[in-house]
Structure 1
Amino acid sequence: MSIHARLLRATTALMLCVSAAMVAGRPALAAAAPTSLPAGQFTLTADYDQFSALNTALAARLGTATVSDVMENANHSRWAITDSLNLPGYSTGFRFDDEDRNSCTSFPQGITTSRDAVGSPNGGRYDGHQLILVSWYTMRGCGGSTSRSRITLVDWDATHPKRYRKILLVEPTGTASVPNFTDIPIHAGGVSWYGDHLYVADTVRGMRVFDMTRILKTSTAGTADQIGRQNDTTYYAHNYAYVLPQVGTITAATTSGTALVWSTISLDRADPSIVMAEYTCTSGCTRYPNRAPRAVRFPFDPNLTTFAAGTTATEALRLPWRRLNGVAAHDHRWWFNSSGDKKLYYWTPARAPSAYNWVTGGESISYWDNGTRPDLLWSLQEPMGHRNVFAVQEAAYDG
């Protein structure tokens, strides 16, 4: 038998096995696996005090609100999912109200939870609330350029109303004597909440850092276009009642010759670290790199919820999949969501990767440690009219 014939027979057999596995409800084996890269090529520099003086001055003028205060004034309702997601291991979920569900200017991207922030003890409650947090970016009109970003805090607890509240993300400006703030026009493609700190992916920079104990109250008397200081005590924020000011920046660097693209991030509480992944294309993209993407793990300072002043990555991977909008890691296991393939890929160094059918327009992933019950993977969808936030049992996606 010729080499060509043997290769053809082997390829046909593999395809039949994959088809049979999919018919039987089992995952298909992915064709290629991640490969290791030198982790020492990737570093972070952390500055948590970048805006300390400005934030102190802003708090003195505007006053602060706790997360509990914000949720007591939640003014949007979440609703049950009406789409059929048809996902193995589906556990629960919700959709946003019609305004957010159908908006052509604001798009949900990242997801994290109060379980990320404080773990599973006490039901994963932060300031008395079990919460799902979603990051969004807003454009200047339908199809326009990115103009600002925000987060949404959603109550996820039977003892609280099914409500949520939007908080604008802002960057402090001005001086300590005349403090001000402005919009943050980033994609906010990924978000991780750890302790009091919220880490938001900034595509070209690394991460912006916010402090959930420093939410500011603003006046809602202005117009939808007004942002920032009007006088000593009046600050507008596009009619948002609350803003969350940036406290610092986590700046990424590399000696690899190709800067990281911070498309999505997730928290790994089992190995306290943030993992990030890149959105790239195979070819033909003009807004994104046309190359294989990477995923990198950056550890937190031991026993802290902050990074050291300088941090070196402890794990780096080159990935065989493109158009990645979501990444998660836990106990040496990895999950990658490809919106291009509509697949959720599972991989661990101990075995070959698996591919599961996933939702259309899937975005970021957050691992939910559920204590004595099965752990969950939370994710969400971006497409207009189908902005569902949902959880599946991770055991249904672990190969």
Structure 2
Amino acid sequence: MVRRWKSAGFLAFCALLSSTVAVGQAEAQAGNWQNTFTLTYEPTAEKPAFEKIDVGEVLTDAKFRLDSRRSCGDALRGTRNVNAKYCFDRSDASVNNWIPQGVSHVSDAYDAEAWTDAEGRVWKPLLVSWYQGQGKKTQSRITVAAPREAGREPVYAHLDLVRGAEPSNVPIHAGGIAWYGQYVYVVDTYVGIRVFDLADVRSRPTGGYVLPETGIWRAKNTQGTTGACRGRNPRPRFSSLSVERTSHRMLVGEFCGDRDNHNRNGRLVSYQATGTLLGPLANGAQVRPTGALNLPVKHVQGVASDGRWYYLNQSYRRRPPRSAPPRMYRAEPSGANLVERGRTSGAIGGEDLSLERGRGLLWSVTEFQSRGRMIYNVWRAGF
């Protein structure tokens, strides 16, 4: 049965299934990493008093179009196993200040891999996160896109991520997102995971839409960038996020090797999740991960899993050499590590990953204006 936004329960985390735990001598298991990635929930007290609007209305009235026919750059040059690509509207493709990052398909959110709006229309959308600016001037938004709908033109619309009664934009990089039930989880690199409710989209009186923050899952040991990707048990970095639907896990990936210790690849940390009501998002609630695996390569922008295999998107490789082409990898757990079992060429500027289970497609987005910004998908079986 296709589920609606309002029918989904609260997200809760509990202990990861013991079969995924790999305790060993590798760095992912060193020290006190479980406490490092323990999260504490903080609800956001106030929201703007704007009129609520159903996401189906947002898509029906969307003014931006996706184009699968025109050329929008060479970001997919050399990329193998491409099934489809969708160019953003020229206003988004040509403006450098907004940069796409995270992707999550409706397949992450519901078993049926589809959503029905308030008018009974069935959609198969995906979400894309963006950021602009740096530091305290950073802003973020999410795009609701419907690239593949029978009899409908491919469209998309933007939702600004905001918090507070007098809403201010949420200043995060938004490097990865996970759509799970009615909620959208957005990583905040050195803080944790921010929570947004897709049943709570609101229409701004001056035009456009906002998505108010519901709360934050905050990590304990987040004190800025110092120590990230360094040492035996570095401070956590929340770079990418995905849903492994077969066992209902959330996967947090660390992007390492850029301006950090180049001897470290980063970790992939797992949390158990469920769409049934195991408890509300309550102030002071805590969740602890039980699984952590060392990534096999540096510069991992996105990770997706089908329950057996893990798929990695590497946007570029600086050493050696800097001009080396990006790759996608297939890997599996071995002890405390993810071990490469296959590779193929990837997109230039490829970012977060999301698995559309039914068709076996990996969705992503490219970020560089100079090479072209687009949503694309590749066949999972191509490794």
Q: What TM-score bracket applies, with the shorter chain setting the length?
A: 0.7 to 0.9
SS of corresponding position for 1:135: strand
TM-superposed deviation, 1:388: 1.7
Distance in 1 between residues matched to 2:309 and 2:29, nearest whole Å: 17
Of 191, 197, 208, 2:183 maps to 197
Distance in 2 between residues matched to 1:364 and 1:320, nearest whole Å: 17
Distance 1:359 1:146, change over 3 A: farther
- 1:250 paired with 2:217, answer yes
Bigger Rg, which one? 1
The corresponding residue for 1:296 is 269
SS of corresponding position for 1:159: coil
Structure number with the higher helix fraction is: 1
Of 327, 330, 333, 2:309 maps to 333
Distance 1:196 1:62, change over 3 A: same
TM-superposed deviation, 1:160: 2.6
Distance in 2 between residues matched to 1:91 and 1:257, nearest whole Å: 39
TM-superposed deviation, 1:126: 4.6
Residues 39 and 287, structure 2, Cα contact 8 Å, conserved in 1: yes
Of 246, 253, 257, 1:281 maps to 257
Residues 271 and 330, structure 1, Cα contact 8 Å, conserved in 2: no
The corresponding residue for 1:231 is none
The residue type paired with residue 124 of structure 1 is: A
**1:1-399 matched pairs, under 5 angstroms:** 37=29, 40-47=34-41, 50-52=43-45, 54-55=46-47, 58=48, 61-80=49-68, 82=71, 83=73, 85=76, 86-119=78-111, 121=112, 124-127=114-117, 128-139=122-133, 146-156=137-147, 157-172=149-164, 179-220=165-206, 240-253=207-220, 257-281=233-257, 285=259, 288=260, 290-292=262-264, 293-301=266-274, 303-304=276-277, 309-341=285-317, 342-349=326-333, 352-370=340-358, 374-385=359-370, 386-397=372-383
Residues 76 and 97, structure 1, Cα contact 8 Å, conserved in 2: yes
Distance in 2 between residues matched to 1:160 and 1:387, nearest whole Å: 22
How many percent of aligned residue pairs carry the same amino acid? Answer: 27
* Equivalenced residues, count: 321
TM-superposed deviation, 1:333: 1.5
The residue type paired with residue 44 of structure 2 is: F
The corresponding residue for 2:3 is none
Q: Aligned Cα RMSD in Å?
A: 2.6
Distance 1:46 1:273, change over 3 A: farther
Moved more, 79-88 or 326-335: 79-88
Residues 115 and 125, structure 1, Cα contact 8 Å, conserved in 2: no
The corresponding residue for 1:23 is none
TM-superposed deviation, 1:245: 0.5
The ranges of structure 1 where at least 4 consecutive aligned residues each deviate by more than 3 angstroms after the TM superposition are 38-44, 253-257, 288-291, 301-308
Greater RCO, CA 8 A, separation 6+: 2
Which stretches in structure 1 are left out of the alignment for 5+ residues? 1-33, 173-178, 221-239
Distance in 1 between residues matched to 2:340 and 2:27, nearest whole Å: 11
The residue type paired with residue 115 of structure 2 is: R
Moved more, 332-341 or 190-199: 332-341
**With structure 2 as the length reference, what TM-score do the two structures score?**
0.77
TM-superposed deviation, 1:43: 3.7
Which stretches in structure 2 are left out of the alignment for 5+ residues? 1-25, 223-231, 318-325
The corresponding residue for 2:225 is none
Structure 1, residues 287-311: CA drift from partner, whole Å, max 9, x if none? x554411111111157459879322
Structure 1, residues 176-222: CA drift from partner, whole Å, max 9, x if none? xxx311111111000110001000010011110000000111122xx
Structure 1, residues 220-252: CA drift from partner, whole Å, max 9, x if none? 2xxxxxxxxxxxxxxxxxxx5110000010112
Residues 180 and 275, structure 2, Cα contact 8 Å, conserved in 1: no
Residues 272 and 300, structure 1, Cα contact 8 Å, conserved in 2: yes
**With structure 1 as the length reference, what TM-score do the two structures score?**
0.74
Distance 1:290 1:161, change over 3 A: same
